[in-house]
A and B are shown apart, each in its own frame.
Chain A
Amino acid sequence: MTGGPAALELRGVTKRYGDFAAVTGVSFSVPRGSIYGLLGPNGAGKTTLLRMVNDILAADEGNITILGSLSPGREASTHLGYLPEERGLYPRMRVGELLRFFGELRGLGAARAKERAREWLERLGIASWATNKVQDLSKGMQQKVQFAAALAHDPEVLILDEPWSGLDPINAEVLREVVLEQRASGKTVVFSTHLMEQAEKICDRVCIIAQGERALEGELSGLKREAAGDRLVALAVEGDGARRAAEAGPLADSSIVADYRDRGDHYEVELAAEGQADALVAALVAAAVPIRRFELVEPSLHQIFVDRVGAAAAAERRPAERRQW
């Protein structure tokens, strides 16, 4: 990650629709050259946040700063690429012209826009379709064109709203590659998703939003360490006798084990304190319990999220509360 000003910085950003607070006092900072995940259940306010960054909506309170000095608007838009959740292109436009159009709209000169359009079509393997109309393309190819449209002007910061929803597996992989490539070339990627597993695979940092408020924010590995505190162990033992011995002996020892859950083929053990793993191994060996697997594990993002905000807040906000604006 490179230093300098953040790619994107939000401070106390609030958005209300009438009496409904879509987003309340959200702050976070996206370092340059990172992949940043904005996570949360549907209706948490992720799209509203991203729309404010893209100057589609105006924040009621708070500040949004792009690349250290820009506010959302026309100039900032030349450095931002955006793939909205609601995707759509002009069906009657030819693919090459469409990409040039988006490039120029985001501030490229005509010659550069043309060049970039060609590069992207080649990169995505659809160069031979450049003169076809969008409506003549398959759904999968239209999705590729949509990525290219968001990237047409070589943006410094790429913003993707629920990018994996509705993608076929091939395009999901293409998108993952594109996102990693962007980071490799020093660009910043911010995306939202309600699928925590997606975020876990690819993000450097995450911000979890629940009911319009920030619930958790930080580096992914740090969050996991912090949440687990090296206190979570996956333990598997051989045979029923061993299971009984373990449950009667070491696992029941409250000085070592705070709690454990039977997960079928293994136990998920929560240690009483950090650094108690050695003590548990010693106790198991002393009790002559044959160990098949012993592993310090990290909790899933979803687990961290539920632990932190509670199951109620983790649920989707009811559509009745949401207003279409």
Chain B
Amino acid sequence: MSTPSQTNAGGRAPRAWLVIARREFFERVRTGWFLVTTILGPLGLLGVIVLPAWLGQTTGAAEVRVLDRSEAELGAGVAWAVDQLSADVNAEPAEAGTSEDELRARVEDGDIAGYLVVPSGALDGETVVYWGRNAADMQFVFTLREVVNMALRSARAEGAGFSRTETAALLGPASFEARHAARAGEPASGTGSFVVGYAVMFITYMAILLYAVNVLRSVVQEKTTRAVEMIVSATRSNSLMVGKIAGVGAVGLFQLAIWALLAFAMLAYQDELLAAFGIAEGGFDVPAIQPAAVAVSLGYFLLGYALYASLYAAIGAMVTSDQEAQQAQTPVVVVLVIPLACVNLVVQDPGGTIAQVLTTVPFSAPVLMPMRYLLGGAGAGDVAVSMGVLALAIACAVWLAARIYRVGILSHGKRPSLRELSRWVRR
């Protein structure tokens, strides 16, 4: 017998990390949990599309009664101003002789949304008070204040000799909209950018956390079932770690892809979808989605996942049970949550120094950069620098984690101290 024969016949052998990645992928994709979460995502979106439209249809305009104690017939003025300003509110003067207690009882019965008390000195600055179930609805309160303002101003104008028509012409509201200062040639609505940015950030954060924790659990499970020694005898622990991270990451991508496809389909056919629920109108104005923005978001999900998954894998290698893992992962969770707390710093000034620092630091960049990019605070150059730093951090994290992993997966004793940990890394 000379040198041993190369790998056995029967097809080319796949690389070890691929074999491991495939196992991780199928073990997860076949579980009931995967099915449940994959279905729940689009169901949630369906709810987001249908519910507001349905609520908007059934609730209709908020019924408001006006208890007028002024001499200037401000109650009628309010009703008129509502007509001018808003379809969401229906205001009528309360029937003569109605007491405040009766109105409050009607509010409690759900008969009306609320009532407005216009005091006798309203024109001289005495406070107009609204009592209602929806007093916490900022949008409604804002509209109502506009309405009251207009009614008072028109009453004052009438006192000065102007007719209603003249007042309406004089005091008619401006048409106003806030637009976001994005990159040249890409005007976007301010709220739209924020909502999309926030959604992308939150999904990125959730996805990174969800799938990175899966890597941790996979490592711990392999240790507790003692299957790990069979694996590391067949391949290097680096391949095992890379395979695991790739396999679980592929599950994440697969699930996100299903969600994205269904979301696109649902939004594209939302009118038909709403019609199926018997709702004629409503729904969202879908913001135009830039391919570049999608690429940036996806890129940061993958990079962020790789960084956090390798950190979680290292933690999994250090601990011996799920309970221990819960405690040991706290530092990483904190690092991942910090960027969430810093969202406003990026939103307030997407192009500023703070935003730049936050989106360059590798731990916060994956969560905050897509948001900053969508808000127009970062150009291609910023993204390239940030991704470069992130890639470097991933290389370091993988190297560090693989060393801890190599020693840690065979340790079943107590958790290592920091001193022992540094010895693992140096060996």
Q: Does A88 contact B (CB under 8 A)?
A: yes
| Residues of A contacting B20 in the complex (Cβ-Cβ under 8 angstroms) | 105
A107 touches B13 (CB 8 A): yes
- Nearest CB in chain B: distance from A8 CB, A: 12
Kindly state the separation between the CA atoms of A87 and B227 in the bound complex, as whole angstroms: 7
A104 touches B19 (CB 8 A): yes
Kindly state the separation between the CA atoms of A137 and B60 in the bound complex, as whole angstroms: 61
Kindly state the separation between the CA atoms of A113 and B23 in the bound complex, as whole angstroms: 14
- Return the CB mask of A94-126 against B: 1 if under 8 Å, else 0: 000000011011111111110100000000000
- Nearest CB in chain B: distance from A2 CB, A: 7
Kindly state the separation between the CA atoms of A233 and B228 in the bound complex, as whole angstroms: 50
Q: A2-B1, A77-B233, A104-B19 are in contact. Are A88 and B226 (CB under 8 A)?
A: yes
| Residues of B contacting A273 in the complex (Cβ-Cβ under 8 angstroms) | none
Q: Does B129 contact A (CB under 8 A)?
A: no
| Residues of A contacting B341 in the complex (Cβ-Cβ under 8 angstroms) | none
A56 touches B14 (CB 8 A): no
- Nearest CB in chain A: distance from B34 CB, A: 13
Q: Does B149 contact A (CB under 8 A)?
A: no
* Residues 206-264 of B at the A interface (beta carbon under 8 Å): 222, 225-236
Set A74, A101, A111: member contacting B236, Cβ < 8 A: A74
- Return the CB mask of B116-158 against A: 1 if under 8 Å, else 0: 0000000000000000000000000000000000000000000
Number of interface residues of A (CB under 8 A): 48
Kindly state the separation between the CA atoms of A93 and B27 in the bound complex, as whole angstroms: 7
- Return the CB mask of A1-41 against B: 1 if under 8 Å, else 0: 01011000000000000000000000000001000000000
Interface 9-residue window, one of A62-70, A201-209, A211-219, A295-303: A62-70
| Residues of B contacting A101 in the complex (Cβ-Cβ under 8 angstroms) | 19, 23
Q: Does B87 contact A (CB under 8 A)?
A: no
A54 touches B233 (CB 8 A): yes
Q: A105-B16, A325-B410 are in contact. Are A84 and B225 (CB under 8 A)?
A: no
| Residues of A contacting B16 in the complex (Cβ-Cβ under 8 angstroms) | 74, 105
A5 touches B1 (CB 8 A): yes
A153 touches B1 (CB 8 A): no
Q: A82-B233, A89-B225 are in contact. Are A111 and B10 (CB under 8 A)?
A: yes
Q: Does B412 contact A (CB under 8 A)?
A: yes
What residue in chain B is nearest A55 (Cβ atoms)? B233
Kindly state the separation between the CA atoms of A56 and B411 in the bound complex, as whole angstroms: 12
What residue in chain B is nearest A76 (Cβ atoms)? B4
- Nearest CB in chain A: distance from B100 CB, A: 66
Q: Does A240 contact B (CB under 8 A)?
A: no
Report A's interface with B, CB cutoff 8 A.
Answer: 2, 4-5, 32, 51, 54-56, 67-70, 73-74, 77-80, 82, 84, 86-93, 101-102, 104-113, 115, 149-150, 153-154, 156, 324-325
Q: Which 8 pairs across A and B sit closest by C-beta, in order of nearness?
A: A112-B10, A109-B11, A88-B226, A324-B413, A54-B233, A84-B229, A107-B7, A107-B13
